[in-house]
Amino acid sequence: MLNILMYQEDIIAFLQQVCGLSGSYADTVRRGIARKKPEILEEALPKILDGYCSKSDKPREIAEKECGEFLQIIEDASSYMFGYNHSIAYCLLGYLCAYYRHYHPIEFITAFLNDAANDDDIRNGTILAKQYGIHITPPKFGISRSDYSFDIDSRTIAKGLSSIKYMGVKQSKQLFEISQKNKFDTFTDVLVAISNNTDINSRQLDILIHIDFFSDFGNQRELEKILDFWNFFKQGTAKQVSKAKVAGSMIEYIIQKHSTDKRKDGTEAASYTFTNLMAIIRECEQKVLSLGISDYNVFTKLRNFNDIMGYAGYISNREEDRSLLFIKDIFPVKRRSDGKQFGYSILTQSIGSGIESRFTVFNEVFKRDPIEKGDVIRCYAWGHDKKGYFNMKRYKKLTLEEEEYAV
């Protein structure tokens, strides 16, 4: 029986046809062996030996020894054995997974992440995506639905919206549908489509901006300002505005271009009446984008993302941010020989790539720049020992005031 595939049916057939047990009793013995219940095998052993020896043409002593060898094979195999039907299905599933992983990796990884059972699955899926050159991003306009979804052209997998506060499947579906039906050149156009075709409100828009959902149209501070103008003009429904409200502002001249301040009798009014409100809003957006407003720094983006999503998972997808690491956890490590602490083990997540890594920081390095859970560091040098363990040799803890951390 060595080097031959064995199924549960084979064991039952051996006990039934060779050892003389009934079909039901043979299956009971098979289950007893698989579940490590020696009392079942001990009870059945005399019947098994008698049955085997009665059909053997060898002396009883040799036949019993031979039967014992078969039983040992059965016991060894039973620790991980399936029925024939289960095995065929399991093998086919394994083959299909290997096929799709090789030929359709982005679809395979997306399905894997949507079916993830725990954080380790998410981590492994993220690592696999990196190996295939596939970016995993936070929820993204034009890609995201309620769960993980992918875009073949950009080789991007985006997280879903279902985990975001105050967002549901309905809103996720609406946002995806408008992104597929239209080609948007400006954020204003997106806001118009959202206003006309979805149930998304201002609070939800603000949340989406602060997880970089609309990052293709500007950075967070730029989009905030554009949204302020959108709300100032009552989501595109305003008819007029008081001159006093906009006097001296950067948008006064824009309003003047697309408004009138004359009454029907030709006298000057105290307000501007809009003749082309959408032109005003679009030009306001162009003005905002022309100012070169810098984005929020890493710390603010991390905090916003954590508050909204419930976990620290902000990813910039910028190559220059790969060495920026968020400290997810930290704990002391000790030598087994004497129990003396020699350093710290830190679990990090790259802000640039989203990849999680574990490093050892030795005491002398840690003392130069102590760190704790929730800190952001810039890693300058790391290595690994003969056993493959990674250690961080040089880093710098970042502070909110340092311009280096602006993104």
> Helix (H, G, I), strand (E, B), or coil: what is residue 390?
strand
Tens-digit pLDDT profile for residues 151-162? 999 899 988 887
Q: Cβ atoms within 10 A of the Cβ of 146, count?
A: 21
Confidence of residue 406 (pLDDT cuts 50, 70, 90): very low
Tens-digit pLDDT profile for residues 374-396? 889 999 999 887 766 789 999 99
Residue 91 forms part of a structural domain: no
Residue 123 exposure: Cα atoms within 13 Å on the Cβ side: 10
Do 313 and 398 lie in one domain? The reply is yes
Residue 281 forms part of a structural domain: yes
Helix axes 220-232, 202-209, angle to 10 degrees: 160
Helix ranges restricted to H, 210-320: 220-232, 243-246, 252-257, 277-290, 298-309
Q: 141 lies in which domain range?
A: 104-198
Do 77 and 119 lie in one domain? The reply is no
Query: What single-letter DSSP state applies at residue 239?
Result: -
Do 245 and 156 lie in one domain? The reply is no
CA distances from 251 to 186, 218, 234 (A): 18, 19, 16
Strand order, beta sheet including 135-137: 135-137, 156-158, 149-151
Domain edge (last residue) among 257, 279, 295: 295
Q: Cβ atoms within 10 A of the Cβ of 127, count?
A: 12
CA 178 remoteness from chain centre: 24
Residues 302 and 274: their CA atoms lie apart, in Å, by 40
Do 316 and 264 lie in one domain? The reply is no
Do 303 and 397 lie in one domain? The reply is yes
Do 119 and 180 lie in one domain? The reply is yes
CA distances from 206 to 212, 214, 225, 286 (A): 10, 10, 11, 20
Q: What is the pLDDT at residue 168? A: 84
Q: What is the DSSP string of 173-201?
A: HHHHHHHHH---SSHHHHHHHHHHH----
Tokens of 38: 């020696």
Residue 325 forms part of a structural domain: yes
Confidence of residue 401 (pLDDT cuts 50, 70, 90): low
Q: What is the pLDDT at residue 275? A: 96
Q: What percent of the chain has pLDDT over 70?
A: 95
CA 55 remoteness from chain centre: 60
Tokens of 164: 């975001």
For the chain, the domain total comes to: 4
Whether the pLDDT of residue 190 is over 60: the answer is yes
Residue 44 forms part of a structural domain: yes
Residue 271 forms part of a structural domain: yes
Whether the pLDDT of residue 350 is over 80: the answer is yes
- Looking at residue 197, its amino acid is N
Residue 46 forms part of a structural domain: yes
Domain edge (last residue) among 252, 276, 295: 295
Domain harbouring 374, CATH code = 2.40.50
Do 279 and 303 lie in one domain? The reply is no
Q: Does residue 36 come out as left (phi exceeding 0), alpha (psi in the -120 to 50 range) or beta?
A: left
> Helix (H, G, I), strand (E, B), or coil: what is residue 339?
coil
**399 versus 281: which is more confidently predicted?**
281
Tokens of 245: 């409200």
Do 264 and 355 lie in one domain? The reply is no
Do 302 and 401 lie in one domain? The reply is yes
Residue 369 forms part of a structural domain: yes
Confidence of residue 291 (pLDDT cuts 50, 70, 90): very high
Angle at the Cα of 144 (from 138 to 149), degrees rounded to 5? Answer: 95
Q: Cβ atoms within 10 A of the Cβ of 298, count?
A: 22
Mean pLDDT on 317-329: 88
Domain edge (last residue) among 243, 266, 295: 295
Do 352 and 266 lie in one domain? The reply is no
Tens-digit pLDDT profile for residues 28-61? 888 877 777 778 878 888 888 888 888 888 898 8
Tokens of 92: 């086919």
Tokens of 202: 């201002």
Do 334 and 378 lie in one domain? The reply is yes
Whether the pLDDT of residue 235 is over 90: the answer is yes
Q: Partners of 149 in the beta sheet?
A: 158
Do 66 and 78 lie in one domain? The reply is yes
Residue 205 forms part of a structural domain: no
